[in-house]
Structure 1
């Protein structure tokens, strides 16, 4: 039987190693060293660094975003922006996400796992936001959850991960208002 505390130490070490050296330079040896275990402990759980990273991406995505239920489209969008901004500002996530996206361009298995785990989870939350807004009469029944995902995550990803800029005061409020305006306009 595999010890859960060892498995958790390995998972934590993977995130640290990804943030420190990136996927391409990451090694099972480095992960084992950070976790304070032998390489065999890692290989008993995962067959390769790729399977380990894919498993972790799926596990993190499975935790999902909480679906906001503020009672208004603006409130729900603003809550999504807050959660997404917090996640993208996390020091490990801000290093790991861009690296995995680069690797996804080279490796279809990584690309598919990221798409399925991360995008599908986000779209699920967006679908709930749209469903609730349609139920309240704030959006038409034809409203597209994909557009919510694009409008919420696109600007945040650009500013926090690509440009690595700070969010000025009121940015999330203004962005939420812009997203709602874009969604209700059409």
Structure 2
């Protein structure tokens, strides 16, 4: 659990005032914000979105509830902002010199990300919550698609330049072909993924993109 970090404690009556954008001496401390962010992920992984509470996040972060309310008015914008910042971080991959090797590397990276315990617990829970909450659904869809599309777009553009793919090849199709099978195996059926599968998948994606 992150070490306790003290911030000025406000009475409940002052909570509304605390939610206003801070200025001057009231600037929010980065170390406290980071402790809260870590606590949000740990609580999501432990209890899920529905049972997550501001009180539990504050307790895990070692701060008062006021420190959380000074940053977010409720748990929904808190979770949306924290999760969006993580999933919107695109994957930057080196140019390996061939489409197949680029695909092999990207498949390995996505595989490692989805195997992470937090991802394995948080992503399915948030997607289930998204079915009931349009705001979460829209935010997740935008953050996931736009960030990771940069990686697939760069991969496709390099392959087109090399003559390995035809101009106009859809980067979104490439992303679907890469992430879809891995997500299905790791987070839906939760079946094992062998080295042989990880070796065959890039070849299958390459063939599908070439034929598309």
Structure 2 distance, partners of 1:169, 1:87, is 16
SS, match of residue 164 in structure 2: coil
Match of 1:172 in 2: 198
Match of 1:16 in 2: 42
| Deviation (angstroms), 1:61 | 2.6
| Deviation (angstroms), 1:169 | 2.1
Within 5 Å, give how 1:1-186 maps onto structure 2.
1-186=27-212
Higher helix proportion, which one? 1
Structure 1 distance, partners of 2:48, 2:182, is 22
| Deviation (angstroms), 1:155 | 0.3
SS, match of residue 176 in structure 2: helix
Worse-matched range after superposition: 58-67 or 105-114 = 58-67
- State the structure with more CA Rg: 2
| Deviation (angstroms), 1:120 | 1.1
Structure 2 distance, partners of 1:56, 1:64, is 15
Aligned-CA RMSD value: 1.0
Tell me how many residue pairs correspond in the alignment: 186
Match of 2:8 in 1: none
* C-alpha distance after superposition, 1:155-177 (max 9, x if no partner): 00000111112211222111001
Match of 2:13 in 1: none
CA contact (8 A) 2:43 2:57 kept: yes
- Segments of 4+ moved more than 3 angstroms: none
Structure 1 distance, partners of 2:30, 2:147, is 26
* C-alpha distance after superposition, 1:17-71 (max 9, x if no partner): 0011100110001111111111111111111111011111221133221134111
Q: TM-score, normalised by structure 1?
A: 0.97
Worse-matched range after superposition: 167-176 or 12-21 = 167-176
CA contact (8 A) 1:68 1:79 kept: no
In structure 1, runs of 5+ residues without a counterpart are none
